[in-house]
């Protein structure tokens, strides 16, 4: 039977580090400005887990005066040695908005309406912005808006469905931030955390016209049987509260540039793995199925790859889903659930190891980015009183991976191109030779 290369963990973690570095705003943002006159004054607005790093990178590249405001997740702010010049950096809650999110939403709208003649309005948008900046429509409370989004997340709705509802309950999203800035035109620089990289889905598209409708939002809430739908009908039935749509002349001079994506990260990891002697198989950067099921599917692919006779690396990205239902006791995240499905399907097969992690450094509701699967861990977890099958059923996979010393902890990376998944397969005891 095959064995793992002695440096398997090092290879997994280095590949992940290559992926994250490639999507870092300091690497991605400068190139996006090279064809733009950077001498004008700039008003910078932004929201997302990468917002602080994007603001610092923008301030370093822009030659003219800079002012503005961005909001990021708690703990994802500026480093002590960074300078965003005149761009204020605030922090708020994720994945559910808090009072700081409300303050941030109001501030973004106020500044958008205050865009001055001659200023270049630039919006720095990244994943997580939907929760970090909140501005419920008049007549709607933050609790109502938060409850609807949280319900859909727990029900396993995909990100497009969740964002459709968010857009139609918000005075900020679905193009409304850009609309507030008129007549100023908007340059949006975005880091994508959504499968397909549609700018309208990144942070619920605050500067992008919305193809979805309030009727779509009603349908989604009805399909998932949201119990408080009646409270939202007054908003969602009102045609005057529809979001701006493609073709709206007000957006004619706007521009959106997506500067880093999941593909950016996977390309960098693939280059590293190829140089390390692996045959690389790419399964896609936009996979968005149910986490455990995708893990089991990828385990079967890995078992087949192991028979190929060559060291093989299987790469994928995207955003999986977890259906939590009423379960509230456990800790984990979609990457740990993916790895749990993978480990159970592999059933301890030698010669295969894997890493799955969120590129923002936080998976789920704990202190980890993701985790690692290696042969022997199922037995190790059972011996330590945390059998994986039981923990997975409780959505408490954190306890299993923690007990097995298999959590990946990076801290906030201050970028966000969603999930990174890598499986390494060795055909026999020679490892990498």
pLDDT digits (tens, 9 = 90+) for 144-194: 999 999 999 888 888 899 999 999 999 999 999 999 999 999 999 999 999
pTM: 0.93
* Residue 377: closest CA among 361, 410, 409, 355: 355
Peptide bond preceding 95 in cis form (omega within 30 of 0): yes
Domains and CATH numbers, the chain: 8-19+263-425 (3.40.1480.10), 25-135+170-209+244-260 (3.40.50.10180)
**Which residues make Cβ contacts (< 8 Å) with residue 26, sequence separation at least 6?**
53, 56, 57, 60
32-69: per-residue pLDDT in tens?
999 999 999 999 999 999 999 999 999 999 999 999 99
pLDDT score, position 329: 66
Q: What is the mean pLDDT of residues 284-310?
A: 94
Report the alpha-carbon distance of residue 130 to residue 7 in Å, rounded: 39
* Cross-strand pairs, 356: 371, 421
Q: What is the mean pLDDT of residues 199-221?
A: 97
pLDDT score, position 432: 34
Tell me: pLDDT of 292 over 60.
yes
126-136: per-residue pLDDT in tens?
999 999 999 99
* pLDDT grade for 326, boundaries at 50, 70 and 90: low
* Residue 374: closest CA among 344, 354, 394: 354
222-261: per-residue pLDDT in tens?
999 999 999 999 999 999 999 999 999 999 999 999 999 9
Average pLDDT, the chain: 94
Work out the percent of the chain whose per-residue pLDDT is above 90. Answer: 88
Tell me: pLDDT of 6 over 80.
no
pLDDT score, position 1: 37
pLDDT score, position 327: 56
pLDDT score, position 431: 38
* pLDDT grade for 325, boundaries at 50, 70 and 90: low
* Residue 104: closest CA among 193, 173, 53: 173
Tell me: pLDDT of 429 over 70.
no
Tell me: pLDDT of 27 over 80.
yes
């Amino acid at each position: 039977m095959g064995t793992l290369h002695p440096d398997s963990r090092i290879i997994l973690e280095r590949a992940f580090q290559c992926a994250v570095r490639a999507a870092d705003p300091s690497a991605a943002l400068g190139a996006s400005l090279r064809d733009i006159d950077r001498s004008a004054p700039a008003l910078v607005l932004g929201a997302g887990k990468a917002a602080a790093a994007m603001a610092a990178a923008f301030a370093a590249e822009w030659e003219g005066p800079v002012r503005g405001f961005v909001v990021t997740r708690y703990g994802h702010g500026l480093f002590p040695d960074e300078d965003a010049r005149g761009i204020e950096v605030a922090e708020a809650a994720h994945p559910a908005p808090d009072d700081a999110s409300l303050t941030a939403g109001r501030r973004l709208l106020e500044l958008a309406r205050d865009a001055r003649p001659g200023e270049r309005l630039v919006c720095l948008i990244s994943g997580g912005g939907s929760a970090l900046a909140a501005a419920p429509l008049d007549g709607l409370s933050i609790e109502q808006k938060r409850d609807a989004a949280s319900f859909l997340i727990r029900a396993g709705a995909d990100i497009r469905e969740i964002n459709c509802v968010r857009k139609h309950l918000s005075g900020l999203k679905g193009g409304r931030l850009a609309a507030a800035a008129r007549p100023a035109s908007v340059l949006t620089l975005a880091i994508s955390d959504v499968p397909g990289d549609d700018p309208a889905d990144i942070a619920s598209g605050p500067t992008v016209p919305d193809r979805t409708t309030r009727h779509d939002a009603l349908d989604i809430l009805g399909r998932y049987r949201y119990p408080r739908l009646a409270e939202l009908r007054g908003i969602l039935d009102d045609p005057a509260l529809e979001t701006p749509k493609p073709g709206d002349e007000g957006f004619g001079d706007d521009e959106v540039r997506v500067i880093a994506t999941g593909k950016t990260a996977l390309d960098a990891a693939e280059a590293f793995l190829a140089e390390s002697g692996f045959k690389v198989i790419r399964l896609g950067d936009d996979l968005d199925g149910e986490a455990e099921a995708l893990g089991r599917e990828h385990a079967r692919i890995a078992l087949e790859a192991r028979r190929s006779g060559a060291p093989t690396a299987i790469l994928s990205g995207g955003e999986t889903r977890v259906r939590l239902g009423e379960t509230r006791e456990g800790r984990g995240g979609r990457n740990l659930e993916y790895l749990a499905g993978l480990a159970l399907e592999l059933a301890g097969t030698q010669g295969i190891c894997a890493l799955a992690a969120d590129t923002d450094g936080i998976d789920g509701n704990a202190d980890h980015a993701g985790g690692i699967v290696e042969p022997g861990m199922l037995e190790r977890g059972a011996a330590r009183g945390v059998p994986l099958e039981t923990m997975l059923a409780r959505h408490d996979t954190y306890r299993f991976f923690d007990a097995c010393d298999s959590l990946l902890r990076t801290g906030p990376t201050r970028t966000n191109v969603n999930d990174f998944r890598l499986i390494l397969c060795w055909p026999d005891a020679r490892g990498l030779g």
